Amino acid sequence: MNDLQKKTAQGIVNLFETGRLLGDYAAVTVVSGDAGHLSYGRSQTSLASGGLCLLVDRYCKMEGAQFAAGLLPYLSRLRSVDLALDHDLTLRQLLKRAASDPLMRQAQDGFFEESYWAPANRMALNACKTGPVATPLGITVIYDSVIHGSFGKIRTRTDAAFPGVPAEKEWIVRYLELRREWLAGSANPVLQKCVYRMDELRKLADAGKWELELPLTVRGVPIDEHTLANKVLPDAA
């Protein structure tokens, strides 16, 4: 996968997570019923997963981090997954303001690369019965699930759906179908609402966009070299 394909793959998942192609470094969300609880950042990492603690700790250790003094007292509560932090308006405001610091954006880029993108690519090397998932769209599908959760569960179901050895594209399409069924059938309304992620990825597969050739449109948002390069940084609140 070349650099443009990587930016496209990450941009698609950013759209799913924050509604912005380039992500929203300042996004702080708490959705009722979301098992992740308080979530933050370009591609959204959560309190419940432990990722938010790792990100804040990473930032606070950076020399010159402008908002480290305010965030450091929260580390023990983040580490213990104190769910009361969902409603801590001071923390939420600090996180939003910290996104104006270039060091926080650097911390987020490094964190999401190491914690989600790199693992997704490693998983793609042995994702299915066919062996490696090598197409950029296939890797995007895996990355989306690594960010969103439960990749292993749906991978097992997808493998079980084939008595023989399927082609990669056939496996990915079946994976999308089974993950959509799982999301739609969840008892959690938050997950039910996420079926659009599978629908959007399936549209790309049906259109033969396995190499993520630009231009693309995902959720009504145009993706091309210009929109991927048009980076707008957040302002301090």
Is pLDDT at 222 greater than 60 in this prediction? yes
Q: What is the residue extent of each domain of the chain? A: 3-229
Q: pLDDT (tens digit, 9 = 90+) per residue, 66-81?
A: 999 999 999 999 999 9
pLDDT at 237: 34
Is pLDDT at 197 greater than 80 in this prediction? yes
pLDDT at 80: 98
pLDDT at 149: 86
pLDDT at 230: 74
For 8, 79, 192, 214, 222, the CA distances from 226, given in Å and listed in that order, are 12, 39, 33, 10, 10
Is pLDDT at 235 greater than 60 in this prediction? no
pLDDT at 127: 79
What mean pLDDT is predicted for residues 85-106?
A: 97
Mean pLDDT of the chain: 93
Instruction: Quote helix, strand, coil % in the chain, to nearest 5.
Output: 60, 5, 35
Q: What's the start-to-end Cα distance of the chain, in Å?
A: 37
- pLDDT-derived band of residue 231, with 50, 70 and 90 as boundaries? low
Nearest to 38 by CA among 27, 24, 22: 27
What mean pLDDT is predicted for residues 6-23?
A: 93
pLDDT at 234: 41
What mean pLDDT is predicted for residues 124-136?
A: 85
Radius of gyration of the chain measured on its C-alpha atoms: 18
- pLDDT-derived band of residue 33, with 50, 70 and 90 as boundaries? confident
pLDDT at 13: 95
Task: Compute the residue count for the chain.
Answer: 237
| pTM assigned to the model | 0.89
Is pLDDT at 229 greater than 70 in this prediction? yes
Determine what percent of the chain is predicted with pLDDT higher than 70: 97
- pLDDT-derived band of residue 83, with 50, 70 and 90 as boundaries? very high
